[in-house]
Amino acid sequence: MNGWQTALLAAAAVLLLMAGARSYWERHHLVTENVSVPAAALGPAFDGFRVALLADLHAASFGSGQAELVNAVKMAHPDLIVFGGDMITAKHGREKGFDGLEDLLAGLSGTAPILAVSGNHEPRLSDPGRLRELYDRYGVTPIDGLTWHLLREGKTLSVTGLPFTEGQYKKLAKASGLQPEDYARWLADAGDFAVLAAHSPLWFSEYAAAGVDLTLSGHVHGGIIRLPGIGGVATPQWRFFFPYTRGLYARPGRAGKTAYLAVTGGLGTHTVNLRLGNPAHLLIITLKNG
């Protein structure tokens, strides 16, 4: 091996070490992002209503007893907290993350109502009752296939949990497998502003066409590696340069409305334990009257 080859290998090794160190820091560094969504249909009673969206916690830890994450949520003064799925890890017979989730729930107790929809990990649990008991203990409302309502001054905000089977999360799925009547069933009692908690954002066009005003998602871990001006490189399902990986997006919806999608880059990782340009992400959505 000649001198330039040795130098090249040394430089590559240094870059890999730097990338590894940066990834470790980003996996343990929490960033809060604030976005605003127009919700004129709800009127002034919901102006400034804040939703804290947390997803893909897996087995991540942010300070002793999740203190950093708990404080970040509390500092946002949310009116509602939504768990967008994969708050534990269940894969290949291994299950972890329950202790960290309980610490989070204990810290958030009394902050705001907490709603929870399943991701692709919760249905894999060998004992689903363990998670149900934990949610019951801390007053979390599971909304898989259900709709939660909040009424203020004659206006109703609804949050529906969209349940999926594990097969619908397969790596390169082209469609959700749900038919228009399925969405109609879940959204039958949507009220004045329909929020859909759907773990995967892959089918945003279908959600928008169904009449959803705002979709809350996670699942794609922010694209794992994010590049300036490009966004996420790959989802954990190996979908490359997927357009909806972190932040707020909009597209035409039904009857001339604009549909919005809020995607959290997630809090933890699994299998691909890598984050670059993509620190752990807490998303706060504020509804605006107009």
Q: Is the confidence at residue 11, as pLDDT, over 80? A: no
Q: What is the mean pLDDT of residues 170-195?
A: 77
Q: What pLDDT shows up at residue 163? A: 85
Give the relative orientation of helices 98-108 and 128-137 as an angle to the nearest 10 degrees: 20
pLDDT band at 252 (very low <50, low <70, confident <90, very high): very high
Q: Which contacts (CB < 8 Å, 24+ apart) does range 200-204 have? A: 200/120, 200/164, 200/168, 200/169, 200/176, 201/244, 201/245, 201/261, 201/263, 202/173, 202/176, 202/239, 202/242, 202/244, 203/175, 203/176, 203/178, 204/244, 204/249, 204/251, 204/259, 204/261
pLDDT at 268: 95
Predicted local confidence at residue 182, as pLDDT:
78
Give the residue, 35 or 29, on which the prediction is more confident.
Answer: 35
> 14-23, 25-34, 143-152: lowest mean pLDDT where?
14-23
Residue 57 pLDDT: 97
DSSP string over 92-125: TTEEE-HHHHHHHHHHHTTTS-EEE---SSGGG-
Q: 158-174 burial, b if ≥16 CB within 10 A, otherwise e?
A: bbbbbbbeeebbeeebe
For residue 270, pLDDT beyond 80: yes
Is it the case that residue 19 has pLDDT exceeding 60?
Answer: no
Domains and their CATH numbers in the chain: 3-288 (3.60.21)
The predicted model gives 205-229 an average pLDDT of 93
233: confidence class by pLDDT, cuts 50, 70, 90: very high
Confidence of residue 262 (pLDDT cuts 50, 70, 90): very high
Tens digit of pLDDT for each residue in 61-101? 999 999 999 999 999 999 999 999 999 999 877 899 999 99
| pLDDT interval class at 24 (50, 70, 90) | confident
pLDDT mean across residues, the chain = 89
Q: What is the pTM of this model?
A: 0.92
At residue 81, what are phi and psi to the nearest 5 degrees? -115, 130
Q: How many residues can be counted in the chain?
A: 290
For range 147-174, the mean pLDDT: 85
C-alpha 255/C-alpha 275 separation (Å) is 39
- Residue 179 banded pLDDT, cuts 50, 70, 90: confident
Q: Is the pLDDT of residue 280 over 60?
A: yes
Confidence band of 185 (pLDDT split at 50, 70, 90): confident
Query: What CA–CA distance (Å, rounded) separates 91 from 54?
Result: 20
Percent of the chain with pLDDT over 70: 90
